[in-house]
Structure 1
Amino acid sequence: MSILIESYEHQVIERFLRYVKVDTQSDPSSLTQPSTEKQKELGKILVEELLVLGLSDAHMDEYGYVYATLENNTSEDNIPVICFCSHMDTSPDCSGKDVKPIVHYNYQGQDLILPDDNGQVITKSNHPDLTNQYGNDIITASGTTLLGADNKAGLAAIMDAISLLIKHPEIKHGKIRLLFTPDEEIGRGVNKVDLKKLGADFGYTVDGETLGSIEDETFSADGVVVTIDGVSAHPGFAKGKMKSAIKIAAEIIEALPKDRLSPETTAGKEGFIHPVSISGTVEQATIEFIVRDFSDALLERHEQELEAVVMRVINQYPNCSYSLKVQEQYRNMKQVLDEYPEVMNIGLKAIQQAGLTPIRRSIRGGTDGSRLSFMGLPCPNIFAGEHAFHGKQEWVSVQDMQHASITIINIARLWAERGEVS
């Protein structure tokens, strides 16, 4: 059975345009949960829309998580409970305030010049996926902010799918749980999630890029903090005495590999060591790194190489020292998902039955699904159509979001059919 986007009256564009106008940027320097109160403004909108749809238990908790249930509409009680999850926050890397979305109808391959900054031009050469978008409707921001398709495209697709399931009770499904999270962009998306309350057996995050893609593999990720203790002295009398921790930190960064193990020179399954922050004084400086690889063993090897670089530089400076602290962030969700092949098989079939060619991919990053999988909710990631995220040239196709909505419907339907024959 195939369900195509032409079969239903979608509301994904209306929802998306509404959601992106709400500033939900998260803040890594904040110690609160959620990191910014403004994320709750979108949470309130989503709760109200869910209540209007008839999901009477829809609510947002004190930490900014939105929960809701679409009840089973079959006579079967052995259908697994499926969760669909997207995050509400946008990246701290680019402003999400006063987003002005622009719909470029019936795209024909032209350059998209963003009107509030003519230097921001979206071209096919820089965005190859646009070659597959002829005739579609492309949404961009105006040139001074990100768009917020990451991950409001996922929110819109889920909400559209739930609305369509309610309008079309002939589509059978089991119990569906919705989870909308704050702070995913700063790595805290599931810190306070209540999985017992969620009560789902399997999940799907809707936070992927290319049409038809489904991802069952992420990086394994650690954060590493290197603290350097130098020797301070009055700069007027520092000859032979001062050993600046700032300059030592700079030497460490300069000594990192340049032709490998960096984001600028890696792709595919290659990992990296990436300095993301440096701060300090002559006496003490700190470098924060993120370390990534698809293999846990290689991740550890990269951290050993990083420490070897630090030691080699520090050893040139008598009376100076360092400390290195590793903090686990998330692990490759494939380690869990391989134990539940049916979750991926249904996802692949759902994409195919939406009239698409499934693309099985790995993510050079992480999603809420990475940590949810290790917390007991196996959770691959399906496409939402978002592209060039975290920047001013972010864009999304309306038709790709509609396909994501149909894929969600198909996933729910296929799990119900599986329950009927089990």
Structure 2
Amino acid sequence: MSQSTISPKQDLETLANWGTACLTRVIAIDSQSDEESDDIPSSQGQRVLSDDLRRFFSELGYGAEQDDAANLIITIPSNLGADAACPPVALMVHMDTAQGTLAVPALEVLPGWDGSRVPYPENPRLTVTAERYPDVACFVGDDLLHGPGSFPIGLDDKLGMAELMTLARVLSENPEIAHGTLVLVFRPDEEIGRMAAVEGLADELARRGVRYGYTIDGLLPFEINVENFNAAYARAVIAETAPAAGDAAAGDAAADDSVEFVRLSVHGVNTHGATAKPEGHLNATMVAARALAALGARDDIAIVDMQSDPALECDAALVFAVRGADAEARERAASALREAFAAEIEPHAWKGAHLDSASVAAPAAGAGVGNGANAAARVIAHLQGLLREPGPTPLLPEESDGYEGYTNPFFVAREGGALVLEYRLRDFDPARLERRVAHVRALCERDGFAVESKNQYIDMGPKLAAYPELVRWAEQALQTISQPVLRRPIRGGTGVDPFLERDIPVANLGTGYFAPESEKEFTSRQNIARHALWLVHLVQVIAADPAETAKPASS
């Protein structure tokens, strides 16, 4: 580095105030994307957020543009002088949040957190402490910012957004801080993988001469990511079968005095796949498979229906037909059913997992009641088979960490007269991912399911290996502010393939929060300030390294 960097005039407390104000501003706008919409952006909330961001940057004196794919682009001009050999650098976040995320009008603030239980006002079941979750020790002493504890609040990626907004304000009020042209990008529909928006953006950045980029979308404080999962998706369709001889259809059973219907609402532990092991992910699909395996085959209990919660995919509602000659016999069967599920759930109660039970009317026609004679029973048998024959291991996301992959049967939905079981498959080793896909397909075909699969994204690591300067710059900026360097892979993806195809290498930087896409999400005021300061020094480090930024693009 040919020159030293300087810090802004403002102290960390001022930056914390600015950053908290930015986060509060954007977190109050519901911008979750909508996979059912064909529009880009897929939701009106993203348009509202984009308009608000335009106003924010306009007040700082920066121009804003929006391309045909709804990408909001802010340009902060270089202050290096006409002779400087520093091409534009892109800093990118996404505007949408995951399904199930809700806006909050204000953040809960816990000053000077001592590591004891975080008091989520709407979810006393949660026990989040530094002892239970050692990774959050870095937040002890900070002023925590969190939601009510009943739904995710969208720190992915609104925390990165707030840090980028804070960077822009710092540069606006500290013109002596040297930097090249910065292209700040706010992308729509990243969570639902709308690549059309990214393709157009990649073309636009290439046209503008952008040669490097960073997504500000990582999890842990100060992490640097240049590797990510290879990913695939599988979808199995399980048709309802005719009731076995002597069994009643659901509609007929409604009039049978010997049958009652019980709905179990299984509330699992919702986590991102990236943090499933340290946070103890628990999906209702696997709870059901294990509980019913422990219960064993019974003539008086039959699963009739199961459907995952679209807002919280770790939760599901399961309906059972309970038979008995009298009410007492039926209650004994229902009690045994509840106990089997409770045995699976209770060890996870401190993480918020719980079980609700209610008597319900017969399910819609088309769901069989006979043992093994309906789609829900076939799904359960399939999942139990997966547990017996897991294929490549680790099997489930809650068993997988670091460079390990997983196979995740994460969602069950009803479509007409059939159930659909969806799988996420992830691995850093492309060959192992292929084996995971082949194993799932083989199990589905053996069980008589119609199955299809597709690849989703690939590891950016091999291409980014040619650009070590992306890591070096980020590490130098961390050293300047006396923060530890953390290199780790992304246990997910960032959707940067179109940039790499246009010779624009893009690494990912951490934003610093806990429990992505979970009701437990939190960050801190001081964390936002520290990360904004990291970005302030990063743009200076890049500007001071003309030997790298002036290199010709690869052919």
What is the TM-score when the length of structure 2 is the normalising length?
0.68
Q: Secondary structure at the match of 1:184?
A: coil
Separation in structure 2 between the aligned mates of residue 39 and residue 368 of structure 1, nearest angstrom: 18
**Contact (CA 8 Å) 1:205, 1:368: kept in 2 or not?**
no
Q: CA deviation at 1:278?
A: 2.6
The residue number in structure 1 matching 2:382 is 252
Q: How does 1:10-21 map to 2 (within 5 A)?
A: 10=15, 11-21=18-28
Deviations 1:132-184 (A, max 9, x none): 22332210112333232221110111111122122222221111101111222
Q: How does 1:170-185 map to 2 (within 5 A)?
A: 170-185=176-191
**Contact (CA 8 Å) 2:9, 2:174: kept in 1 or not?**
no
Deviations 1:324-365 (A, max 9, x none): 322221111112211211112212222222221110011111
Separation in structure 2 between the aligned mates of residue 109 and residue 231 of structure 1, nearest angstrom: 53
The residue number in structure 2 matching 1:108 is 114
Separation in structure 2 between the aligned mates of residue 276 and residue 166 of structure 1, nearest angstrom: 45
The residue number in structure 2 matching 1:45 is 52
Judged with a 3 Å threshold, the aligned counterparts in structure 2 of structure 1 residues 374 and 99 are, in CA distance, closer, same or farther, namely farther
Moved more, 68-77 or 181-190: 181-190
Judged with a 3 Å threshold, the aligned counterparts in structure 2 of structure 1 residues 401 and 304 are, in CA distance, closer, same or farther, namely same
Q: CA deviation at 1:212?
A: 2.0
Task: Give the aligned residue type for 1:381.
Answer: N
What is the TM-score when the length of structure 1 is the normalising length?
0.88
Separation in structure 2 between the aligned mates of residue 64 and residue 185 of structure 1, nearest angstrom: 15
Task: Give the aligned residue type for 1:131.
Answer: A
**Contact (CA 8 Å) 1:3, 1:353: kept in 2 or not?**
no
Unaligned regions of 5+ residues in structure 1, if any? 315-321
Moved more, 322-331 or 153-162: 322-331
**Contact (CA 8 Å) 2:27, 2:103: kept in 1 or not?**
no
- 1:390 pairs with 2:517: yes
Q: Secondary structure at the match of 1:85?
A: strand
- 1:219 pairs with 2:349: no
Separation in structure 2 between the aligned mates of residue 197 and residue 231 of structure 1, nearest angstrom: 52
Q: Secondary structure at the match of 1:393?
A: coil
Q: CA deviation at 1:3?
A: 4.8
- Taking only the aligned residue pairs, the percentage that are identical comes to 26
Separation in structure 1 between the aligned mates of residue 211 and residue 440 of structure 2, nearest angstrom: 39
- 1:145 pairs with 2:155: no
- 1:326 pairs with 2:453: yes
Separation in structure 2 between the aligned mates of residue 248 and residue 4 of structure 1, nearest angstrom: 62
**Contact (CA 8 Å) 2:88, 2:182: kept in 1 or not?**
yes
The residue number in structure 2 matching 1:312 is 446
Q: CA deviation at 1:300?
A: 0.8
The residue number in structure 2 matching 1:90 is 97
- 1:365 pairs with 2:371: no
Moved more, 218-227 or 373-382: 373-382
Separation in structure 2 between the aligned mates of residue 149 and residue 302 of structure 1, nearest angstrom: 31
Q: CA deviation at 1:285?
A: 4.0
- The equivalent position to 2:471 in structure 1, one of 306, 322, 344, is 344
The alignment yields a C-alpha RMSD, in angstroms, of 2.8
Q: Which has the larger radius of gyration?
A: 2
Q: Secondary structure at the match of 1:250?
A: helix
Judged with a 3 Å threshold, the aligned counterparts in structure 2 of structure 1 residues 416 and 288 are, in CA distance, closer, same or farther, namely same
Separation in structure 2 between the aligned mates of residue 178 and residue 163 of structure 1, nearest angstrom: 13
- 1:162 pairs with 2:134: no
- The equivalent position to 2:124 in structure 1, one of 114, 118, 135, is 118
Task: Give the aligned residue type for 2:486.
Answer: I
Q: Secondary structure at the match of 2:456?
A: strand
Judged with a 3 Å threshold, the aligned counterparts in structure 2 of structure 1 residues 156 and 172 are, in CA distance, closer, same or farther, namely same
Q: Secondary structure at the match of 2:226?
A: strand
Task: Give the aligned residue type for 1:115.
Answer: P
The residue number in structure 1 matching 2:278 is none
**Contact (CA 8 Å) 2:167, 2:536: kept in 1 or not?**
yes
Between the two proteins, the alignment pairs up a number of residues equal to 412
Q: Secondary structure at the match of 2:506?
A: coil
Q: CA deviation at 1:218?
A: 0.9
Q: CA deviation at 1:294?
A: 0.8
The residue number in structure 2 matching 1:205 is 215
Q: CA deviation at 1:40?
A: 1.4
Moved more, 304-313 or 245-254: 245-254
Judged with a 3 Å threshold, the aligned counterparts in structure 2 of structure 1 residues 59 and 98 are, in CA distance, closer, same or farther, namely same
Deviations 1:170-201 (A, max 9, x none): 22111110111122222337645422223321
Judged with a 3 Å threshold, the aligned counterparts in structure 2 of structure 1 residues 65 and 285 are, in CA distance, closer, same or farther, namely same
Judged with a 3 Å threshold, the aligned counterparts in structure 2 of structure 1 residues 239 and 348 are, in CA distance, closer, same or farther, namely closer
